[in-house]
Structure 1
């Protein structure tokens, strides 16, 4: 989902065709009964389509409220916990993998949530096409694929163009909150965001913030902590 552009092959009489490098790989996965039920019963209630274009989310949710946009919610456990614990806020989650989408929708139905909406596509496309400028209070990016190998670093979602796109969609005062358990990626995030115009690092020492209470701790993270793995949280606020 990075914004790096490459030109696709073309014939002599064709205009250049551009494609973006994706920060994710589509994986096939088996659906559980609960996940399938979530898709079948939950999508009509909570699902939004990219083809719907620019949205008035006050109209979508039926109210004006603080709004969080989460990129890549995985299986949706953290998203559900945040939405359930903050009913006065609205949450927009985006995930490309259907089992995770189904799991989140099934959980939303079970908990009778009303403050959650879901896209199942590329989150950057949603930001570009469906989200108005200066309309989000928070953007969350928790544990994105770090693309460990050097030749794959261009696939990392956190790039200068990503920082600028998110800045456009955040309100002044809005916050981009990122977390990773891969230190080299944390250092990459810090480098990119520190150079990005229009942001202020909310860490007192200009590096990483302590784990915020509002970010749920996942089973994966707890297991990593038992194994001695670190987690790095970054918060950058739009100031311009």
Structure 2
């Protein structure tokens, strides 16, 4: 028998909440990727998987952006419509877009460049690994997860991002008092999100009643309009990171 290597390549031992959508980029997106990646895209150390983050790797946000300001992280930024608009509207805040869809990242960079935005960076990576490894503890003011993949078939529900394993990672990255903002147009996923957060000691609701008001910092995108056109209600939730002294075992 051929000799087996002592250590086999190590890929992820946890399920990921996305399907890698490579696709073919347009010529404009290819040019944007080539020309704008050095400006906007973080060059991060990888583990074995293409969109992984090497454990122990981390960034210093103040060094990345060259200043000390609030930091907002959007997970699953898609084409970047929401985060580019937010970055343009609030230049005194820095933004980090996390996405695995390369064509979406290219579109985000192109739109940010056209808008003259300098307070936005992007990372092509699996979001939980960004929160766990790349971002220092307590460095993030807000985490946004808007319209994550609902994985609406029951057999795929386990792939949903907003689930118990995600919350300690979000809590680690957020500063005390930081916000986790969520939105979805799938009612059962909204209810799951609410149930999961209700059981999390590190978070407390920052709204009253059944659902939070629509976040006025979220621009209305074509994706949201599509959900509304199909008769699906948009449900927002927002939770505050409790002081670390209140965490179990601290």
- Whether TM-score is above 0.5 comes out as yes
Determine the structure 1 residue equivalent to 2:64. Answer: 60
Paired residues, what number? 227
Question: How big is each residue's C-alpha offset from its partner over 1:186-235, in whole Å with a ceiling of 9 and x where there is no partner?
Answer: 00000000101121101212x31010110111112123323322111110
Determine the structure 1 residue equivalent to 2:222. Answer: 219
The farther-off stretch of 60-69 and 32-41 is: 32-41
Give the alignment partner of residue 44 of structure 1, picking from 38, 41, 52: 38
> Where do residues 65-76 of structure 1 align in structure 2 (5 Å cutoff)?
65-76=69-80
Determine the structure 2 residue equivalent to 1:119. Answer: 123
Distance in structure 2 (CA, Å) of the matches to 1:14 and 1:45 = 37
Question: How big is each residue's C-alpha offset from its partner over 1:56-115, in whole Å with a ceiling of 9 and x where there is no partner?
Answer: 111110100010011010111111101110100000001101100100011111111110
CA RMSD of aligned residues (A): 1.7
- Structure 2 length normalisation: TM-score? 0.86
Unmatched 5+ stretches in structure 2: 47-56, 244-250
Give the alignment partner of residue 210 of structure 1, picking from 205, 208, 213: 213
> Where do residues 161-172 of structure 1 align in structure 2 (5 Å cutoff)?
161-172=165-176
- Structure 1 length normalisation: TM-score? 0.90
Unmatched 5+ stretches in structure 1: 1-10
Distance in structure 2 (CA, Å) of the matches to 1:193 and 1:76 = 26
Question: How big is each residue's C-alpha offset from its partner over 1:158-204, in whole Å with a ceiling of 9 and x where there is no partner?
Answer: 11121111011101110000110000000000000010112110121
Change over 3 Å in CA distance of 1:180–1:14 after alignment to 2 = same
Structure with greater proportional strand content:
1
